Chains A and B, each alone.
Chain A
Amino acid sequence: MKLADFVCFEAIIAELKTNDRDGAIAELVSALDKAGRLGKGNCQKIIKAVIKRENEASTGMGKGIAVPHVKHRAVKDAVAAVGRSSFGIDFSSLDKQPVYSVILLISPADNPDKHLQAMESVFKHLQQEKFRKFLRQSETAEQLEDLIREADENPTL
């Protein structure tokens, strides 16, 4: 699965307004909602669900990255928003370091394999130091979109 298959380019936030975890999650879910990807009236429920999942175990994987996610009936296909914070967000990460790049993924409730495929794609790229560096350094939504499209073409990025 390619990143462009599930990343919603209208939901890329080059500079998150808030520095707190729950605020960042709310911003990203709201961006997906605004892009019309979550159906009607689900935005607040999904924000709550992502935060609840995050409270169970942090998705801050270290190296400045967090991948908050939840499975929800509101979506038929996996859909992701991407956010960047130059200040850094406390995600209670494994390495206790702040998070600069957030990839938020909402997956369908009844298709665990689809969720895994999207995750595989996200982590394949996050694995690459270069990709993480560019993700953190991109200053506009356009740059982030270009980076994501380029990463799909070039697996070593």
Chain B
Amino acid sequence: MQAGQDSLEKIVCETSVEIKNADGLHMRPAMQFVDVASKFECDIAVSNDETTVDGKSIMQMSMLAATCGTKLKVKAEGLDARKAINALRELVEQKHFDEPTPSEQKKQ
């Protein structure tokens, strides 16, 4: 899942994350994503099948409109790339933006 590094200066890390919350990547989760991404120095690019956007721009992230079940590629480049990828994966897949997944929603 995670790619290696080519030098000390430029660490590139890439992963695929799946949107798990029922409502998908609407504005609030997109803002959470941008907040976490912006804590890191590295560049963060997020792509779906069609487009690649800046993971630190709320306007661009909102444009992805990723529905529940969508897989996004997250690529980080910079010294703290690995940490950034881990934090973002945790936000999207473990915490699912503090929102219910479809099965959790049914129980409510």
Q: Pick the contact of B66: A62, A116, A127 (CB < 8 A).
A: A116
Stretch in A26-34, A35-43, A117-125, A143-151 touching the partner:
A117-125
- CA separation between A61 and B24, bound complex, in Å? 19
Taking a contact as CB atoms under 8 Å apart, the answer to whether B59 and A120 are in contact is: no
Query: What does the 1/0 interface line of A39-78 toward B look like (CB < 8 Å)?
Result: 0000000000000000011010111000101000000000
- Nearest-neighbour CB distance to chain A for B26, whole angstroms, equals 6
- Tell me whether B15 is interfacial, beta carbon within 8 Å: no
- Tell me whether B62 is interfacial, beta carbon within 8 Å: yes
| B residues apposed to A, CB below 8 Å | 22-28, 31, 58-60, 62-68
- CA separation between A113 and B31, bound complex, in Å? 18
User: Can you report 27 residue pairs joining A to B where beta carbons are below 8 Å apart?
Assistant: A56-B28, A57-B27, A61-B62, A62-B58, A63-B59, A67-B27, A69-B27, A94-B58, A112-B22, A112-B23, A112-B24, A112-B68, A113-B67, A113-B68, A116-B24, A116-B25, A116-B26, A116-B66, A119-B27, A119-B65, A123-B59, A123-B60, A123-B63, A123-B65, A127-B59, A127-B60, A127-B63
- Nearest-neighbour CB distance to chain A for B80, whole angstroms, equals 23
- CA separation between A37 and B90, bound complex, in Å? 40
User: Known contacts A61-B59, A62-B59, A127-B60: does B31 contact A117 (CB below 8 Å)?
Assistant: no
Query: What does the 1/0 interface line of A103-123 toward B look like (CB < 8 Å)?
Result: 000000000110111011001
User: Known contacts A116-B24, A126-B59, A127-B60: does B31 contact A57 (CB below 8 Å)?
Assistant: yes
- Nearest-neighbour CB distance to chain B for A103, whole angstroms, equals 12
